[in-house]
Amino acid sequence: MSTMWQGCLADTDYFEMRSSGGHDYGVWVTTPPGYDPATTPTPAVYVVDGNFAVGQTAPLIVTQADPMQRIQPYIQVSVGYAGEEAQHWDRLRNRDLVPPGEPVAKELVDAVGMGFQAGARTREESDAYLAELRDTHADAFLSFLTAELHPRIERDYGTATSGHGLFGYSYGGLFSLYAWLSGSTLFGSIGAGSPGVIGEDSRIFAMLEELGDGLPAAELHVTVNDRELLGDLTVYQNLAKNAATVLHRLTSRGGAVTSAVLRETHVTGLQASFLSYLRTCRAR
């Protein structure tokens, strides 16, 4: 990493890695100040949407030294896209973070159309965004994180053998729920910020039914934002409503599930949601 970026993201390494499926990823690894794996092997917390999230979340590694509410030590591994693909992260994430077979909600299609009308995306960009949602592979991305990337992090950074975490926001939050419901054994705690469960026919509800009475052992922390629920955008209203429905179904089964309502919009809520996850699931 260049000297300029090192000054912004202290104690952060960057490398690129190709998955067995042929996709290239950019990976930022942020370690606690003075980290010595020989004496203090530390769990990893994986954060998706690295191109957008690393600048908002990696600096929070200083919470490990906060004398008023210290957070358990962790190494942050932010995963995004590399090279020319980095500029298309907001549509490529659809391929990686959305569960296979997830229906494309009409409200989302309408929101993309509104973005086109407002000039936020060109017609070509809008079509490409929706095309990625019709062929989604969260299963392959989860396998990349757990079976390919994690062994490299474990080898190169001397991580602990347990206590790892996962955090995602929006479609990243949908991915977090998917990973939790899939029963991945790598993560001891999972944060799902404003999870993108937009339609009532989401695969998440089907996966809940398939679980029966049992629930995964990992801690799950879910956040939503009040401005999503109380605002006038249908896609965010549905997201918040469906997240609440998921929570009700989980807590009624007595699972290790916590939640928080944050005073944010969907755009501003990422950092607050990550901090809520740290305070709830990773406090000392």
pLDDT digits (tens, 9 = 90+) for 179-204: 999 999 999 999 999 999 999 999 99
pLDDT at 7: 63
Q: In what order do the strands lie in the sheet with 164-169?
A: 12-18, 24-30, 75-81, 44-48, 164-169, 187-193, 219-225, 257-262
Residue 139 has pLDDT above 70, yes or no: yes
Q: Own/partner pairs for 151-156, CB < 8 Å, 24+ apart?
A: 152/17, 153/29, 153/44, 153/75, 153/77, 154/44
Number of domains in the chain: 1
- Say what percent of the chain tops pLDDT 90: 74
Pairing of strands 164-169, 75-81: unpaired
Chain centroid to Cα 244, Å, comes to 18
Tell me the two tokens of residue 230.
Answer: 């109380």
**pLDDT band (50, 70, 90) for residue 6:** low
Q: For the stretch 18-47, what's the b/e string if a residue is b when 16 or more beta carbons lie within 10 angstroms of its beta carbon?
A: ebeeebebbbbbbbbeebeeeeebbbbbbb
Number of H helices, E strands in the chain: 12, 8
Per cent of the chain over pLDDT 70 is 98
Q: Assign 77 a pLDDT band (cuts: 50, 70, 90).
A: very high
**How far apart, in Å, do the first and last CA atoms of the chain sit?**
31
Q: Scanning the structure block, which residue is given the tokens 């934002």?
A: 225
- pLDDT confidence bin for 2, thresholds 50/70/90: low
Q: Which of 31-35, 44-48, 194-198 shows the lowest per-residue confidence on average (mean pLDDT)?
A: 31-35
pTM beyond 0.75, yes or no: yes
Please state, rounded to an integer, the average pLDDT across all residues of the chain.
Answer: 92
Residue-number span of the structural domain to which 14 is assigned: 3-281
- Answer with the residue of higher pLDDT: 252 or 5: 252
Q: Which amino acid is at 25?
A: Y
CATH value at residue 28:
3.40.50.1820
Query: CA torsion sign, 172 to 178 to 182 to 187?
Result: positive
